[in-house]
Structure 1
Amino acid sequence: MAQKYVVVERKNPLKPQEPAKFYAMARSNRRVDTDEVISRVSERSSYSIGELKGCITEFLLEMKNQLSLGNIVLLGDMGSFRVTIVTGNASETAEKFKAATCIKISRVRFHPGSMLLDMCKAMKYTQVKKGEGSEGDDVVVPDPDEDKGQTPDPSI
């Protein structure tokens, strides 16, 4: 199956005087929650829904615990999760650096592994025109005006 996309017009926030350009934006078919994934796995395996739900709940709890300890969680070929820190206010010297005033926020970052990178390399694409798709679907359509028509900042 091909990845659907729409074409949106955006300005470059670093060069606002330049004319807007057109970019591809991925379009999701629908949201798939954990319960649906568990149900599908249960249908093709010997594990019950309850067993899978329990395992996934415990797995996610342990991932959170490991990340809170400052560890990187490796998920094999799927990828890895790590905590990063955003400094809001830099200090003049290391001695003046205080976490309470200098650190803005922590974030959890995912780095895809070979399985997902290979999937992306082999990806096929299908353009979706505005107004295509059936009404009433659980389709999440990105709002091209969501970011005021500006190209996303690659440093974030």
Structure 2
Amino acid sequence: MIKYKIINKINPQDVNAVQKFYAIKQAQETLTLRDFGRRISRESTVSMMDTMAVLEGLLQIIPDELINGKIIKLGDFGTFRTTLATEGTLTEEAFTVANIKKLNIRFRPDREFVNKLAGVEYSKVS
């Protein structure tokens, strides 16, 4: 369940516009890698130590492979990929690596993941 509260906000693109009310999501709980390890271990036949070893391995491999330009598809969860933020040049010859300003990481959830989120329930908090 997603908890939210209502706040009155100014439109940053038009500070003279009438303020409107918007829902903002409330932070609920942060889950750690260890929390995931415990849950996976409870719901499977794999020990906590083995589960944590695999999760830690995944955390080591994903950044390495993204840096190598690979796309990482994690089953029905989704796909991680990288994109470049660059400054444009007038000609191809004028473009150098200095025009590349940043490597961005993008996540695209898989259809099954998106479908699961479609059934979310909301609860207003005071």
Regarding TM over 0.5, the answer is yes
Q: Percent identity?
A: 28
Q: How does 1:114-129 map to 2 (within 5 A)?
A: 114-129=111-126
1:12 aligns with 2:26: no
Query: Which one is further off, 35-44 or 8-17?
Result: 8-17
For structure 1, which runs of at least 5 residues remain unmatched after alignment?
Answer: 130-156
Aligned to 2:89: 91
| Alignment partners' CA distance in 2, 1:68 and 1:6 | 39
| Alignment partners' CA distance in 1, 2:60 and 2:80 | 14
Aligned to 1:107: 104
For structure 2, which runs of at least 5 residues remain unmatched after alignment?
Answer: none
Aligned to 2:53: 54
| Alignment partners' CA distance in 2, 1:72 and 1:125 | 33
**C-alpha RMSD of matched pairs (Å):** 1.6
Please list every run of at least 4 consecutive aligned residues from structure 1 whose deviation after the TM superposition is greater than 6 angstroms: none
> Following TM superposition, by how much is the alpha carbon of 1:4 offset from its aligned partner in structure 2, in angstroms?
0.7
Aligned to 1:43: 42
Residue 18 of structure 2 aligns to a residue whose secondary structure is: coil
